[in-house]
Amino acid sequence: MATSRFLRPTIIALTGIGLAASLSVMTTSAASAATVIDGPVNLGTAATYGVLGASAVTNTGPSVVNGDLGLSPGTSITGFGGAPNGSVNGTTHQTDAAAAQAQRDTTTAYDVAASLSPTQTGLTELNGLSLSPGVYSGGALALADNGALTLAGSADSVWVFQAASTLTIGSASRITITGGASSCNVFWQVGSSASVGTGAQFQGTVLAQQSVTATTGATVQGRLLARTGAVTLDTNTITASTGCPAPGTPSETTAPVITSGAPTTATAGTPYSYAVVATGTPTPTYTATGLPAGPTINGTTGVISGTPTTPGSSTVTITASNGTTPNDTQTVVITVQPAATQSPTPTPSAPTTPPVTGATPTAVAGGGTTPTGELAFTGSDPTVPLGVAGALLLAGTGMAVIARRRRLAGRD
């Protein structure tokens, strides 16, 4: 009982630690879970700002900000106040409650944009691309000098670009939006800092973790929002997007298209995996009919996996759907080859009986020797011939005796 009293507090403490760890894991998972884009990123009160800095806002030349200008928590806004300096066609919020709230809303929007599941990953150079609505991610994103990027969609189309590090928009480059879409629904989430080159024509809202720099003559149809650093301008025109769809407005959906190639060959008794890939907004789900015995399809990821049991060929129909018609179907053949067979192990031969130890070998006919006391084997059994020879000897002896008696009788 004494031992129980000592152990009870320890057990309770360990249980509490385990529960705390579980709750910590659950909280972290919920906060970091990726989401699917379903409309414009909600900017909150930051939506009215053309420029919002954290440490400072600095301008050179006659820049024009069509929208609000804000700074928080820094205190230095320079280069505005009329010609030859910049002008603000909106309200300037310098280290006040409105700017502080706009920064909080910028942080929320940044986190949402960063959490979205990418439509396409691994982007670097944007020059020459024509992109449909979706979420595009890469490390350092760049649009080359004199480069062109086209965003083709409709009024409800949304694009989100995720740059893990920097965003560099080259000099004299151009972003064009077609099909009724607008800069309202283009968002650039930047993990460090962004720069817009000389004379560039940029579209969309920059949500930068650190700083944003617009060099001489660049124009921005959208917003430059910096979370922790400065916004630096030089003879620029920044026009905050207006007339934008309200947050929560559904984004444009696109029908699924299966893009994966032919499946590989499977082997009976061996684990098998084949990934079905499809594009579409929202993300498609998958079904499959006609699969060989064993494997199944994951409706969320599109991966066909399992261990096939029977050799042969199966015609499989795969369907991708996301609620936008038409669904896409693909017919493929999955071949299951027989399991490899192993060669039988040869049966070992019986060991040869060794000769009698200590026997003196004697010569035998045809060469070779045989131990003394043993009859050399000649390929036949000697018993029968010896028996016949004995019988003939006895018969001959008897006939000789009879002949001798007849001769003696003739003399008498």
Least confident of 104-118, 123-137, 354-368: 354-368
Q: Could you tell me if 263 and 214 lie in one domain?
A: no
Torsion of CA 249, 252, 255, 258, to 10 degrees: -100
Which of 302, 321, 337 is at the close of a domain?
A: 337
- Quote the CA–CA distance of 104 and 100 in Å, as a whole number: 6
Q: Could you tell me if 235 and 273 lie in one domain?
A: no
The first and second tokens of residue 83, run together, are 């010609």
CA distance to 129, 241, 244, 251, 252, per residue, from 153 (Å):
14, 17, 15, 11, 8
Q: Residues 193-227: pLDDT tens digits?
A: 999 999 999 999 999 999 999 999 999 999 999 99
Q: Could you tell me if 221 and 82 lie in one domain?
A: yes
Q: Could you tell me if 140 and 287 lie in one domain?
A: no
Q: Could you tell me if 179 and 323 lie in one domain?
A: no
Q: Could you tell me if 106 and 190 lie in one domain?
A: yes
Give the pLDDT confidence score for residue 274 in this predicted structure: 95
- Quote the CA–CA distance of 99 and 102 in Å, as a whole number: 5
Which of 239, 271, 296 is at the close of a domain?
A: 239
Range(s) of the domain holding residue 307:
254-337
Q: Write down the pTM of the prediction.
A: 0.58
Q: Is the per-residue pLDDT at 23 higher than 60?
A: no
- What is the band of 341 on the pLDDT scale with cuts at 50, 70, 90? confident
Q: Could you tell me if 234 and 259 lie in one domain?
A: no
Which of these, 133, 189, 126, lies nearest to 163 by C-alpha position?
189
Average pLDDT, the chain: 82
Mean pLDDT to the nearest integer, 118-137: 94
Q: Could you tell me if 310 and 169 lie in one domain?
A: no
Q: Is the per-residue pLDDT at 389 higher than 90?
A: no
* Torsion angles phi and psi, residue 21, rounded to 5: -65, -40
Q: Could you tell me if 103 and 64 lie in one domain?
A: yes
- What is the band of 316 on the pLDDT scale with cuts at 50, 70, 90? very high
Q: For residue 291, give the CATH number of its domain.
A: 2.60.40.10
Mean pLDDT to the nearest integer, 255-268: 91
Q: Residues 223-239: pLDDT tens digits?
A: 999 999 999 999 999 99
Give the pLDDT confidence score for residue 108 in this predicted structure: 97
How many domains are there within the chain? 2
Tell whether 396 is covered by a domain: no
Q: Could you tell me if 99 and 138 lie in one domain?
A: yes
